[in-house]
Amino acid sequence: MKVNESRFERILRVVVGLFIISLTFWGPKSAWGWLGLIPVLTGVIGFCPLYSLAGKQPCHIEPKEKSTSEASSPPGSDRG
């Protein structure tokens, strides 16, 4: 299984999942709180089957590289 969740999303899933599970013991005390296991497990593993079916990939932001002409010419040298 390839990881298809970003680091932020994984952390968020675990936190939200644990909160939902806590509702089983506090608050409404309903068995529906055990559905919080789903985001906890997908967050820990880093793989979401629904994302895989939808073709979603995590957003990786790469640093912008300077072109060779910008890097080699001194500032202000483009004046004519």
- Better pLDDT: 20 or 27: 20
Q: What is the total count of domains within the chain?
A: 1
75 inside domain = no
29 inside domain = yes
39 inside domain = yes
Residue 71 has pLDDT above 50, yes or no: yes
Residue 17 has pLDDT above 90, yes or no: yes
Q: What is the pLDDT of residue 39?
A: 96
pTM of this structure? 0.66
Q: Any residues with CB less than 8 A from the CB of 15 and at least 6 apart, and which?
A: none
Q: Any residues with CB less than 8 A from the CB of 29 and at least 6 apart, and which?
A: 23
Contacts of 30-39 with CB under 8 Å at 24 or more apart are 39/13, 39/14
7 inside domain = yes
Could you list the residue range(s) of the whole structural domain that residue 45 is in? 1-54
35 inside domain = yes
